[in-house]
Chains A and B, each alone.
Chain A
Amino acid sequence: MADVPDHLLQRSRERRKALGLPVEGEEGAEAPAGETPAPAEGEATTGAVGPAAGGGEATGGGEDVETPGGGKIPAHLLERSKKRRATVGGEGAATPAAAGAATAVAAPLAPTATGPGGHTQRLLTVVKSGSIQQTRAEAQDKVHTWPHLLVTEFAAVLIVLAALTIFSAVVKAPLLGLADLNKTPNPSKAPWYFLGLQELLTMFHPMVAGVTIPGVGLGLLATAPFVDKNPSHKPKDRKFAVAIFTVFVMLWSILVIIGSFFRGEGFNFVFPWNNGIFFDL
């Protein structure tokens, strides 16, 4: 039997007293005369305590009994328990309480590890059903990656590869004359994705156009998730973010297009249909 701390025993005794139940340690009216006061410590394991099994349950009529935990034990269960205890306890009671060796036969039948008040189990805690969390994952509409996703990916790869191969077979990559530091082409253009920056050079100081604007731009882009606190993914909830980004992309595209096709000799503004295209990829 496990050691029961004194303060718990004390609380149990007070509770039982409040409920009008027999309290061990006192001479309960229902306790058999021969019973020793229920010990607080472990000597209850001997067979001699057999009769004590009957000690705690003499109360209770036909109706449900309130347990200290607040729940109710159905009457039929109590009845069954009582019957069982009667058979077990009866045998135990039939032998004289101090019979010694003679009780050894009945001893295995009696509950050997009884707690205070003859209980064979203790209520450790009551977990209310509401406090148990439901951790089941929400069902998601999913499909197998093979074949559903991989087929699409293979198709995309094949289309890109085929288109690129055909395009490359037809259109040659540019290779102009050998590089010559003494011969500056007019106009000199950066790669197309930097032509937006080169376009800005015509409007701002080089430090602003070449360093500040792209630096701040990339910084803003990288911090977008931390600036945009709106949790919604729906386009109709994100009109401002979508508008800002669209303006940004359009502005950039227009700058690149102007830089690519509308800038001629001296990087002056020209129309490609008048002066031709000054652009190499």
Chain B
Amino acid sequence: MANGNGTNGNGNGRQRVSAAVERVDDKMRGSQAWNSIFRPGSVYRRGYTDSPRNRSYVIMNNVLYHLHPVKVKRHAVKVSYTLCLGGISFFLFMLLTVTGIFLMFFYQPATASSWNDIKTLETAVTFGSLVRNMHRWAAHLMVLSVFLHMCRVFYHGAYKAPREFNWVIGVILLTLTLLLSFTGYLLPWDQLALWAVTVGTNMMGYTPVFGSSIKYVLLGSQQIGDQTLLRWYVLHVLLLPFVIVIFMAVHFWRVRKDGGISGPL
């Protein structure tokens, strides 16, 4: 292969470089380390040429792509059918996780410091303002995309047998998304956060019989304060993400087990 390249100009130099590159490439791909990372059949081992076999291997040898089946119904590929809403919701969740972890490095859940932490993040941390904005807007967008995904599924009648249970999981995921967004709302500890949460928790306080207990559990005390902030912080960064990931796993798994995407209409 090296002989065929660069016959004019600085041909010799280029030939030597490409031969060296090829030698390194061969050595790397032949090494035990490389072959231990990439499974037999991986396109990173064998190189990719377009063939039905390789198209399958691409999906099978990547843990993330592997959420998909190797083949999907033709109508499911049309953007106009799903509008990508479920996938976008998932992507936004991943984006929120990444940006959220970044934010955690600069934030303490305490009434004395939270607001200042956010202020410092916006003014003194590299990309701090951008990442916080992305986290905020992605959260709102995720509420919207999950809701629209539900509408899409309803209008396609995709909740019907055998997908009833997955619809129920979906409603749980919608509720968890709202709770995740709501718990995050309090954390900046500004006037907007405080009073939005006051309105919300007051509403839940009207639950019959258990009203005051629910409110107390949510606030961690009689009034919104340090305890509330800590509680909502743990809910927001740990408990709710943990729960939603489990439900998402079941949701995706059931999509495939119930016969892939529904339709065509």
Contacts and interface: CB of A to CB of B under 8 A. Distances in A.
Given A175-B188, A190-B199, A211-B208, A242 B155 contact: yes
Interface of A: prevailing SS: helix
A175 B206 contact: no
B188 A231 contact: no
Interface stretch (B1-9, B11-19, B27-35, B52-60): B52-60
B243 interface: no
Given A164-B141, A173-B133, A193-B143, A210 B265 contact: no
Interface in B130-174: 130, 132-138, 140-141, 143, 147, 151, 154-161, 163-164, 167-168, 171-172
Interface string B244-255: 000000000000
B156 to A, nearest CB: 7
B84 A145 contact: no
A24 to B, nearest CB: 58
Contacts of A193: 143, 147, 178, 181
Interface string A141-182: 111111111101100110011001101110111111111110
A140 B157 CA distance: 20
Nearest to B162: A225
B196 to A, nearest CB: 5
B151 A194 contact: no
B46 interface: no
Interface stretch (A59-67, A96-104, A233-241): A233-241
A184 interface: yes
B136 A189 contact: no
Contacts of A153: 84, 87
A144 B52 contact: yes
User: Max chain A CB contacts within 10 Å: which of B65, B69, B132, B206?
Assistant: B206
Contacts of B262: 233
Interface string B213-242: 000000000011000000000000000000
B133 A201 contact: no
A229 to B, nearest CB: 9
B247 to A, nearest CB: 13
Interface residues of B, number: 84
B70 A175 contact: no
B175 interface: yes
B65 A211 contact: no
B38 interface: no
B171 A218 contact: yes
Nearest to A214: B203
Contacts of B207: 207, 210-211
A127 interface: no
A234 B158 CA distance: 10
Contacts of A161: 91, 95
A142 B52 CA distance: 12
B192 interface: yes
B137 A168 contact: yes
A185 B196 CA distance: 10
A273 interface: no
B166 to A, nearest CB: 9
A143 B190 contact: no
Given A164-B134, A184-B195, A218-B171, A149 B206 contact: no
A152 B194 contact: no
A177 B188 CA distance: 10
Given A164-B138, A164-B141, A167-B137, A191 B71 contact: no
Give 6 nearest A-B pairs by CB, closest first: A210-B203, A225-B164, A168-B133, A179-B194, A173-B136, A233-B157
